[in-house]
Structure 1
Amino acid sequence: MKDRKKRVAGLKPLPQQGRSEQVIKALAKFITRQKMVPGDRLPPERDLAEALGVARTSVREAVSQLAALGILEPRIGSGTFLLRKITSDTVYMPLSLDTDGLEDLLLKALEVRRGIEVEASIAAAKRRTEEDIERMEAALIHMESLFKPEGGSGPADLAFHLSIYDAAHNPLFRQLLEQFRDLFERFWTRPYGRPDFASNSFPYHRTLFEAIRDQDPHRAEQETRKLLNSVEDDIRMMKP
């Protein structure tokens, strides 16, 4: 009995309404809090149901939904295993799609990036605060200090883009990013084995920052499009 309680420590009974969604969110928080990684096994279904105060069918339904999204994998006789990470701030449901290869994957993801990041940049130019500009500039300077034409600046580049999302002051931008994070991060992980991937877009980061700093939404939109168009050129040029 003690072992069962230990396995689900931190989970509390849930209210009656919207059980399936609540179970999913509770599992997301539990996975994050326990620092679970892909390959880890979740506690048994009965233990989860008991800790959450719900029927096992509610847990089974939540697990089924997460399995359909490629986050969990129930294995007969072995238990339920984590396949992909999930955040606690937002139910992170990594998206996947069938593609004809890396080029197709990146181009489709870029279409989505373009739609989200253009709007985020416009919103940031309209709503940014002085504190946002300080954080954004610090992220930009750090990125610039690490940049090398033959090697890009990886995570620092991503951090700069995240600072723009935050400056938009619309939490949905960040939540959307979390939904697409697995796909988006492919742009910062040396696709095609090319460390110089997207290095041609580097100058546009500063001009984009300046547009947001100057509260110029039209210029922010233009610079974002230039940046992402440069990335698209690299995708098409660097494919094997």
Structure 2
Amino acid sequence: MSDQFKVMTKAMLTPLPSIDRTQQVIDALSDFIESSRLQAGDRLPTERELMVALSVGRSTIREVVTHFQALGVVETRKGSGTYLLKPVSKATIHMPLSLDTAHLRDALLQTLEVRRGIECEAGMVAAKRRTRKDIAIIEEKLDEMERVHMAKGTSGPEDLAFHLAVYDATHNPLFKQLLEQMRGSFERFWTHPFDRQDFARRSFPFHRTLFNAIIAQDPEAARAETLKILDVVEEDIKEMSK
């Protein structure tokens, strides 16, 4: 560990209590970046330095770095380290979104309105810009989603991975950054709302037709298939919340 980093971490980074590690590391690292006045192009402390300074494991540090990468504020260069792409603070790196409702039904319907706007546009843009590599990745995620669905009758993380691959195919990092900021709200759709394993199961075939529309570079078809998925989600929210 460098002498300069030892001096800075002694004043700014201290071991954390063992609760909500990931969010605490996000807050601690963003505070460190702001307090140290790091600028775009500056290298962040190494994994080992962060692990020692914050008393957390490697997996937590990597999860936080992945979170920062998804937000487009850092990049990792192989063999060199992780570098800041833009100055950040705790206020800019983590902007939690909340809904003023105590009812899951209302929260899901309100979030669904936002999903319609973002996911329809993402599907259309992906259809226009997708590359052969994008197609291969989306198909890989779709195949895994279908495999799990056929085995268990449902899917969760695999469904999310498919939609993330579509976002990546837009080649517009803002789509993924928006999802990262709204992850808490969006993930409600992939955690079996109302304790129903069959939630939105009827939307399963439309993921394949959405993929076909993206292959065909047909934005309008991609939009239509995305709407079919989300229409099923809306119907299930209303039916299962009765």
What is the CA-CA distance between 1:150 and the residue it aligns to?
Answer: 6.7
For 2:228 and 2:123, the matched residues in 1 are separated by 13
Deviations 1:205-235 (A, max 9, x none): 0000000011111100100001100110010
Q: Which one of the candidate residues 120, 123, 126 is aligned to 1:124? A: 126
For 2:212 and 2:99, the matched residues in 1 are separated by 36
Hey, what does 1:37 align to over in structure 2? 22
Aligned 1:93-172 pairs, distance under 5 A = 93-148=95-150, 151-172=153-174
For 2:141 and 2:33, the matched residues in 1 are separated by 44
Hey, what does 2:94 align to over in structure 1? 92
Letter in 2 for 1:52: S
Hey, what does 2:45 align to over in structure 1? none
Distance 1:51 1:221, change over 3 A: closer
* 8 Å contact from structure 1 (residues 94, 181) kept in 2: no
What is the CA-CA distance between 1:37 and the residue it aligns to?
Answer: 2.9
Letter in 1 for 2:190: W
Deviations 1:41-94 (A, max 9, x none): 977xxx95996169xxxxxxxxxxxxxxxxxxxxxxxxxxxxxx8932322322
Distance 1:148 1:6, change over 3 A: farther
Distance 1:52 1:209, change over 3 A: same
Aligned 1:43-62 pairs, distance under 5 A = 52=36
SS in structure 1 at match of 2:22: coil
Hey, what does 1:204 align to over in structure 2? 206
Matched residues, percent identical?
A: 51
Hey, what does 2:228 align to over in structure 1? 226
**Unaligned stretches of 5+ residues in structure 2:** 39-63, 72-92
What is the CA-CA distance between 1:101 and the residue it aligns to?
Answer: 0.2
Hey, what does 2:190 align to over in structure 1? 188
For 1:163 and 1:41, the matched residues in 2 are separated by 24
Deviations 1:26-46 (A, max 9, x none): xxxxx9xxx933577977xxx
TM-score by length of 2: 0.67
TM-score by length of 1: 0.67
For 2:21 and 2:136, the matched residues in 1 are separated by 34
* 8 Å contact from structure 1 (residues 149, 199) kept in 2: no
* 8 Å contact from structure 1 (residues 136, 209) kept in 2: yes
What number of residue pairs does the alignment pair up?
183
SS in structure 2 at match of 1:197: coil
Letter in 2 for 1:88: F
Distance 1:88 1:230, change over 3 A: same
